[in-house]
Amino acid sequence: MTAHVVLIDAMNLIRRIYAVQERPFLLNNELAENTKQQVLHNTQKACLQAVNNIIEYTQPTHALAVFDSKEPGWRYSLYPDYKKGRKKMPLHLEQSLPAIQDGFMASHIDSLISEQDEADDLIATLSIKVALRSQNVTIISTDKCFLSLLNQHIRVYDYFNRRELDNHYVQQKFDVKPGQLMDLWSLTGDSTNKIPGVAGIGQVTAAQLLNEYGSLHGILKADNLKSSIKDKLEQQKQELELARQLLQLKQDIPLGFNLKDIRLPNSQSA
């Protein structure tokens, strides 16, 4: 029997659910102390319902909720402004994570919490390992970085909009193939994570270049680039290389467990 592994980008799921639960209680963009417990209760309940819905819809043989490290990871060491300005997780939500993880476990979904890596890298590593065995993976996340992993064995599902983010979605939104996305974002940067790219090269231009030359390597080796593009790439080599390094998902993290450790009850697969 072919395995089907569901990997939940836990903080992507939890923080989006929390934002929805928090919104009705906000006053001047603040949450009163006497409403925090109610919001946390609602969040925990909604998170548990979400994972049950996910399992019912995807019908996996294995499942895992993957959490970020509590400490800043290697990208912050490489680039201190990484994710600069992003709203921090509220302390009361952070303190409630063990209770949410217990709720997941009650539905037979274990949690993987990294000591030093982002969930993105852990999910990428596990997805590739599973796919290389010709087994199937569904990543539950709205984070666009996972779209670069799409192949015949790896899919991405947006739980909040109830849609699969597939090759057609990538082509329509970015005008490139999934395998070209990292090169696209290396050129344009990623404003969501405050990653700089090559100033003056936007998504339309980057997509046109990739469709013509195939890859970032092909672009840099081309001898018929417009002088304006060539000058930008030459003058901003460091920014381009930094973006490439920050965007690249690690795929070789030692995981320390086997698929059988996250197998769901009644599943007969390995």
187-193: long-range contacts at Cβ-Cβ below 8 A with a sequence spacing of 24 or more?
Answer: 187/216, 187/219, 187/240, 187/243, 189/239, 189/243, 190/243, 190/246, 190/247, 192/144, 193/82, 193/83, 193/86, 193/246
**How much is the pLDDT for 87?**
84
Contacts 24+ apart (CB under 8 A), 151-156: 151/178, 154/127, 154/128
Euclidean distance between CA atoms 247 and 121, whole angstroms = 10
Q: Is 256 helix (H, G, I), strand (E, B) or coil?
A: coil
Say if residue 158 carries a ligand binding annotation.
no
* Higher local confidence (pLDDT), 29 or 219: 219
Determine how β-strand 4-9 pairs with β-strand 26-27. unpaired
The vertex-62 CA angle with 58 and 68, nearest 5°, equals 95
What is the radius of gyration, based on Cα positions, of the chain? 20
Q: What angle do the packed helices 33-58 and 10-22 form, to 10 degrees?
A: 130
**Is 196 annotated in some ligand binding site?**
yes
Q: What percent of the chain has pLDDT over 90?
A: 81
Cα separation, 78 vs 124, in Å, equals 20
Torsion of CA 246, 252, 258, 261, to 10 degrees: -10
Only one residue has tokens 């592994």, namely 5
With CA atoms as reference, report the closest residue to 148 among 165, 172, 135: 165
User: What is the tens place of the pLDDT at every residue in 115-142?
Assistant: 788 999 999 999 999 999 999 999 999 9
Contacts of 164 (CB under 8 A, 6+ apart): 155, 156, 157, 158
The whole-model pTM stands at 0.94
Q: Round to whole Å and give the CA distance between 4 and 133.
A: 11
**Residue 183 labeled ligand binder:** no
DSSP string covering 121-154? HHHHHHHHHHHHTT-EEEEE---GGGGGG-SSSE
State yes or no: 231 annotated in a binding site. Answer: no
Label residue 270 by pLDDT band (50, 70, 90): low
Q: What is the phi/psi pair of residue 249, to 5°?
A: -85, 130
d(CA 100, CA 14): 9
Selection from 88, 112, 108 nearest residue 15 by Cα: 88
Distance CA 8, CA 157 (A): 10
Is pLDDT of 61 > 80?
yes
Q: Which tens digit of pLDDT belongs to each residue from 201-238?
A: 999 999 999 999 999 999 999 999 999 999 999 999 99
Q: Is 6 assigned a ligand-binding role in the annotation? A: no
Cα–Cα distance, 109 to 7 (Å, whole number): 10
**What's the helix, strand, coil split of the chain in %, to 5?**
55, 15, 35
Which domains are present in the chain? Answer: 4-170 (3.40.50.1010), 174-247 (1.10.150.20)
Whether the predicted pLDDT of 98 surpasses 60: yes
Question: What letter would DSSP give residue 168?
Answer: H
